Amino acid sequence: MNMEYVTLANGLQVPKIGLGMWNTYEGEAAKTVETAVRLGYRRIDTAMGYKNEAEVGEGIRKSGVPREEIFISTKIWWADMVDKDKAHIRATFEKSLSNLGTDYVDMYMIHWPVGDVKAAWEVLEELYAEGKAKSIGVCNFQKHHLEDLLAYAKVKPMINQIESHPTFTQDELFQYTKSLGIQPEIWSPLGRGADLQNETVGAIAEKYGKSPAQVMLRWHIQRGATTIPKSVHEERMIQNADIFDFALTDEEMAALLAEEAGTPCGNYKQGDYSFTR
């Protein structure tokens, strides 16, 4: 598998394409991870909220590839940040480690900007200083959440993981994240599959003899993102990583951005942003 990497602000290298584990169910997650790692995936993105950390650990062990060669990210769920103290937040991290069967993660993230973000970030900074989290980041932070965080953070997040796809680009947030020296990382890069039917995507795919999924993933990479497409199918995993042998023109990049329709996949009510204001 021909994979490219980006370098995070702290010098850590992360593959541009990783495997997203949201919605990969109990019983299929270990096999999915084992297959992906055997194929050459070196980044697995999970979360305590996905309820598959233990299977992620199992899949990596079964792959036979040394743990140190895999970039594992996991996240603290928002309910563990609401009316919880720093001891609870630390215990939550330790639980993730034991679920995964490892003594460090490559990235630990705040999943939603809800609850006591400051306390959580302080714990993440401690874990980073202790080397238990090799890098730390956030997810679903809008501009004002990043501004709030940067007012007190001693360590700047290395990644902001956000939803983006042609019908919900969040381009302003994407560009703002990048301008801060924070790596934008895209979840649901295919719009959970919905944008695979998009006509503009389809026309570009036909031109290059690539699939619609490959066109969207290439678009994200060319925008400067890392991304974590989810698939439980081997042939799609192979396809989703095979995007480094063609390039979209500036016009095609702009045409995909122009498909913006304001249609998110995420349930943003769950991460009620007003909660932290």
Q: Which positions are catalytic?
A: 50
Q: Which of residues 204-223 bind ligand A2P (CB under 6 A)?
A: 211, 213
Residue 127: CB minimum distance to ligand A2P, A:
28
List all residues 6 or more positions away from 117 whose beta carbon is below 8 Å from its beta carbon.
81, 110, 145, 148, 149, 276
Find tokens 């290395």 and name the residue: 158
Q: Using an 8 Å Cβ cutoff, are 74 and 46 in contact? A: yes
* Collapsed DSSP state (helix, strand, coil) of residue 245: coil
Q: Does 191 bind ligand A2P (CB under 6 A)?
A: yes
Cβ distance to ligand A2P smaller for residue 20 or 115: 20
* Distance set, CA 2 to CA 52, 154, 193, 243, 259 (Å): 27, 36, 24, 9, 29
Amino acid at 59: G
Q: Which of 29, 110, 190, 221 binds ligand A2P (CB under 6 A)?
A: 190
Q: Which of residues 225-244 bind ligand A2P (CB under 6 A)?
A: 229-233, 236, 239-240
Residue 23: CB minimum distance to ligand A2P, A:
7
Cβ distance to ligand A2P smaller for residue 156 or 236: 236
Q: Using an 8 Å Cβ cutoff, are 266 and 140 in contact? A: yes
Residue 86: CB minimum distance to ligand A2P, A:
33
Applying CB under 6 A, the residues found at the interface with ligand A2P are: 20, 188-193, 196, 211, 213, 229-233, 236, 239-240
